[in-house]
Amino acid sequence: MDSEYVTVSGNIPHENNLGRENMHADETLTMCINGLIQNNLDLSKITKGQKAQDKVFPQPSASEQDCCWNKESLENSFLREEGNIASNNTCPGWAEGDQEDRHILQNNTTIGADKESRVHQGMGPTSDNTPGLIQRREYAEQQDKKRHGKESVMHELSLLVQKTVRNSSWWERRGLDISIIAFGFICAFAGFLLLASSDAFPFLLGFTLLGVAHTVITVKGSHLASHNALTESKCWSKFWIVFFLEVCSAFTAEKGAHAHVKLHHAHTNIIGLGDSSTWKLPFLNRYVYMFIAPLAVPVITPLVALSLLWDVPLKVALRTIFLISLGLWANYWLLINISGFQSVWSAILCMFLSRALLSIPYVHVNIFQHIGLAMFLPEKRPKRMQQMSYGVLNLPRNPILDWSFGHSLINCHVEHHLFPNLSDQLCLKVKPVVSKYLTEQHLPYNEDTYLSRLKMFIRQYEELMVHAPAITDLVGIQ
Ligand SMILES: [Zn+2]
pLDDT in tens, 1-33: 333 222 222 233 333 333 333 333 333 333 333
pLDDT, residue 136, reads: 60
Q: What mean pLDDT is predicted for residues 268-273?
A: 83
Task: Indicate if the pLDDT at residue 56 is higher than 50.
Answer: no
Average pLDDT for 267-280: 76
Average pLDDT for residues 233-261, to the nearest whole number? 94
**pLDDT number for residue 275:** 64
- Ligand 1 mean position, distance from CA 223 (Å): 6
Give distance in angstroms: CA of 416 to centre of ligand 1. Answer: 7
Q: What is the pLDDT of residue 218?
A: 96
Residue-level pLDDT at 137:
60
Distance, first Cα to last Cα, the chain = 8
Per residue in 105-118, pLDDT (tens digit) is 444 333 333 433 33
> Could you report the per-residue pLDDT of 161-173, keeping only the tens digit for each?
999 999 999 999 9
How much distance in Å is there from the Cα of 219 to the middle of ligand 1?
Answer: 10
**pLDDT surpassing 70 at residue 45:** no
Stronger pLDDT, 45 or 6, i.e. the higher one: 45
What's the pLDDT at 146? Answer: 54
- What dihedral do alpha carbons 177, 180, 184, 189 form, nearest 10°? 130
DSSP at 272? T
Calculate how far, in angstroms, residue 186's C-alpha sits from the geometric centre of ligand 1. Answer: 25
Q: Say how many C-beta atoms besides its own lie within 10 A of residue 43's C-beta.
A: 13
How far does residue 409's CA lie from ligand 1's centre (Å)?
Answer: 7
- Tens digit of pLDDT for each residue in 324-358? 999 999 999 999 999 999 999 999 999 999 999 99
- What pLDDT, in 10s, does the model give residues 422-434? 999 999 999 999 9
Give residues with Cβ within 8 angstroms of 50, minimum separation 6.
444, 446
Reported as a pLDDT band with limits 50, 70 and 90, residue 221 is: very high
pLDDT of residue 42: 34
Ligand 1: centre distance to CA 350 (Å): 29
Neighbours of 332 (CB within 10 A): 16
Please report the pLDDT score of residue 352 as a whole number: 95
Q: Between 191 and 71, where is the model more confident?
A: 191
Q: What is the pLDDT of residue 272?
A: 77
CB count within 10 Å of CB 33 equals: 28
How far apart are the C-alpha atoms of 180 and 113, rounded to whole Å? Answer: 23
> What's the rounded Cα separation, in Å, for the pair 36 and 19?
18
Ligand 1 mean position to 14 CA, how many Å?
21
Provide the mean pLDDT of the chain. Answer: 74
- Burial label for 270, CB within 10 Å (0-12, 13-18, 19+), is buried
The better pLDDT of the pair 142, 5 is held by 142
